[in-house]
Amino acid sequence: MFSGLVQAVGILKELKALPGGARVRVTCSFADDPLTVGESIAVSGVCLTVAAMRPAEFTADLSGETLRRTTLGKLRPGSRVNLERSLHPSDRIGGHFVLGHVDATVGVVAVEPSSGFRTVRASLPPSLESEVAEKGSVALDGVSLTVSRLGHGWFEVVVIPTTLARTTLGERRAGDLLNLETDVLAKYVRRTTVANAGADRGALAGWGHEED
């Protein structure tokens, strides 16, 4: 589990196709607390497992599902990626709970600068509209953000100067793709609502019928 607060920006050195998936090699520097094989790390919002370590870099495997559902398979050597290590139970939660399970890739519709801030408008698939709320949380490329405005087929977030400087969001332009993860709480609320609605329909369908 992660918080959506990016700790470092790494460089994708290699993306190697494998049967059924791929392997990435990423540079990183956590000199005071090096990564270990088997630990989880979020790479631009995608939860991966460290498969091997070398000085200042790690490798991780991508499944076919990860390649289909995220932007990682479209990256090229030299691409910058946001990195966050998994949380410890004692860590402060400065963003929101992020699982690293990307729901969809969404396109950047527009970027509007304003006094060092940037308002980013992104597309929103109809299937996810019920999981995004104004003033609610989303993760874009692993960055925890608050939804500032919302409309049919789109939403906006305001990115502060510190986030622009410390993550890859400052490099994003209209037409780029971002990894979107909706708030896990919204997922459970939606699931409960759908399940309750189905139970209510079933009860109404059976109302008034007597058993033989």
Token pair in block for residue 48: 């991966």
Above pLDDT 70, what percent of the chain?
A: 92
DSSP state of 98: B
Q: Within a 10 A sphere around the Cβ of 124, how many other Cβ atoms?
A: 24
Torsions phi, psi for 125 (to 5 deg): -60, 140
pLDDT at 141: 98
CA angle in degrees (0–180, nearest 5) for 42-44-49: 30
Q: How confident is the model at residue 94 (pLDDT cuts 50, 70, 90)?
A: confident
Tens digits of residue pLDDT in 156-182 = 999 999 999 999 999 999 999 999 999
Full-model pTM: 0.89
In total, how many domains does the chain have? 2
Residues of the domain holding 122: 104-194
Same domain, 80 and 110: no
Whole-number Cα distances in Å, 167 to 99, 113, 183: 18, 16, 20
| Bigger pLDDT: 187 vs 205 | 187
In whole angstroms, what is the distance from residue 50 CA to residue 139 CA?
Answer: 21
Tens digits of residue pLDDT in 30-83 = 878 889 999 999 999 999 999 999 889 999 999 999 999 999 999 999 999 999
Beta strands in 77-207 (DSSP E): 80-85, 104-114, 117-123, 137-140, 143-151, 154-159, 177-182
Tens digits of residue pLDDT in 38-52 = 999 999 999 999 999
**The last residue of a domain, from among 57, 85, 113:** 85
pLDDT at 197: 65
Same domain, 114 and 175: yes
Same domain, 54 and 129: no
